[in-house]
Amino acid sequence: MDNKINYKHLHYFRTIAKEGSIAAASEILKLAPQTLSGQLSQLESDFGRLLFKREGRKLKLTPFGQQVFDYTDAMFSIADELSYFLNTDQLIERNIFRVGVSSSIHKLIVFNLLQPAYTKTPNLHLICKTGETERQLNELRSHKLDLIITDRLKVIDDITTFQIKEVLSSGISLFAAPSIATELRNKGLPDSLQDAVLLANARNAVYFERLIAWLAKRNIHMRIGAEIDDSALIKIFGAHGKGVFAAPTMIADEVCRQYQVEQLLEIDSVQDKIYALYKDISNASPWIDAICLSGTT
């Protein structure tokens, strides 16, 4: 396969894929169907693989063609945005702020933490991605992210590379579905937690280790029933009676209201801490400063 890519041919390919046929694409591109068919054949020859398969009168992408289309469509979509931007009479500053968030952090907390950035810039264009901190660190290093909000400092090897600011600290509470909560209360908390099922969403978070230590100090051993690395999903499992789960006490009312669960215990000595990670200098510095300055510790 020739490593050189013919972008004109890719543009034709993208149009054919979107329209579903050479005839329809030829009308848009103002090219004869025979010419367009020849260009497509040349592109398939360059790649050494078929991009389409025929189903009736329609052309359907092959698995390889779908992958090529995904790259091509993303590339030309950005080019279309650039063309629009350059041809707009009044250029508008987009104020893009790219934030990575650990999936284990409750979404209401994330929303509250990001609010100061909107206060500073009401027309802020936020791009927020949830996921694993380990993966997002590479995006922060390569400036694909401006900020990471995480509860997972333990996974950061080169901690001196980043600026780190604690933006929130809250005690932990335990929650369960009403039927489980009633049973545990009747048996007497916290001793009734012995052998109860615990849903874990952040075993490498500092607060989880401290929670296990708090239980061990009272000779209580809970059985880990599931590891669910998503703050919303773990609460849904808990709401359906799959086990006890932990969440920050500061959002206890919202957790109980939204997921129809009950608060079992407040454990103030076990703190859930959330941090902002960022590079020294960034175009997003004003928004990062606003978030860090408003952080509650």
As to burial, measured by CB atoms within 10 angstroms (0-12 exposed, 13-18 middle, 19+ buried), residue 157 is exposed
Entry pTM: 0.66
Helix %, strand %, coil % of the chain (to 5): 50, 25, 25
pLDDT at 91 over 70: no
Indicate whether 149 and 283 sit together in one domain. yes
pLDDT at 292 over 60: yes
Residue range 182-214, pLDDT digits in tens: 999 999 999 999 999 999 986 767 788 899 999
Indicate whether 68 and 199 sit together in one domain. no
DSSP strand E in 8-72: where? 52-55, 58-61
Indicate whether 131 and 223 sit together in one domain. no
Q: Give the number of residues written for the chain.
A: 297
Indicate whether 211 and 118 sit together in one domain. no
* Residue 297 pLDDT: 42
Residue 295: pLDDT band (50, 70, 90) is low
Number of domains the chain contains: 3
Domain boundary among 34, 63, 87: 87
* Residue 181 pLDDT: 98
Q: Which residue, chain included where needed, has tokens 């009950």?
A: 262
Q: Which region among 129-133, 174-178, 253-257 has the lowest average model confidence (pLDDT)?
A: 129-133
Q: Is residue 1 part of a domain?
A: no
The two three-digit tokens of residue 231, written as one number: 């703050």
Domain boundary among 87, 111, 142: 87
Q: Given the DSSP bridges, would you call strands 223-227 and 197-200 parallel, antiparallel or unpaired?
A: parallel
Domain assignment of residue 102, given as a range: 96-166+275-294
Q: Which CATH number is 17's domain given?
A: 1.10.10.10
Q: Which region among 44-58, 117-131, 137-151, 273-287 has the lowest average model confidence (pLDDT)?
A: 273-287
Mean pLDDT of the chain: 90
* Residue 134 pLDDT: 87
Residue range 139-174, pLDDT digits in tens: 998 888 999 999 888 777 776 778 899 999 999 999
Name the more confident of 203 and 78. 78
Q: Is residue 142 part of a domain?
A: yes
Indicate whether 78 and 116 sit together in one domain. no
| Over residues 15-30, mean pLDDT | 92
The one-letter amino acid code at 44 reads E
Indicate whether 202 and 251 sit together in one domain. yes
* Residue 294 pLDDT: 82
Q: Is residue 192 part of a domain?
A: yes
Indicate whether 80 and 110 sit together in one domain. no
Residue percentage of the chain with pLDDT more than 90: 70
Beta bridge pairs of residue 98: 127
Residue range 38-60, pLDDT digits in tens: 999 999 999 999 999 988 878 99
Asked whether the beta carbons of 258 and 106 are under 8 A apart, the reply is no
Indicate whether 26 and 72 sit together in one domain. yes
Residue percentage of the chain with pLDDT more than 70: 93
* Residue 205 pLDDT: 73
Q: Is residue 248 part of a domain?
A: yes
| Over residues 131-139, mean pLDDT | 89
Q: Which CATH number is 245's domain given?
A: 3.40.190.10
Indicate whether 80 and 109 sit together in one domain. no
Indicate whether 162 and 184 sit together in one domain. no
Domain boundary among 87, 114, 137: 87
Q: Which helix (H) or strand (E) holds 250?
A: none
Q: State how far the Cα of 61 lies from the Cα of 46, in Å rounded to an integer.
A: 17
Indicate whether 286 and 266 sit together in one domain. no
pLDDT at 83 over 80: yes
As to burial, measured by CB atoms within 10 angstroms (0-12 exposed, 13-18 middle, 19+ buried), residue 6 is middle
Indicate whether 191 and 246 sit together in one domain. yes
Q: Is residue 2 part of a domain?
A: no
Cα 271 from chain centroid (whole Å): 24
pLDDT at 89 over 70: no
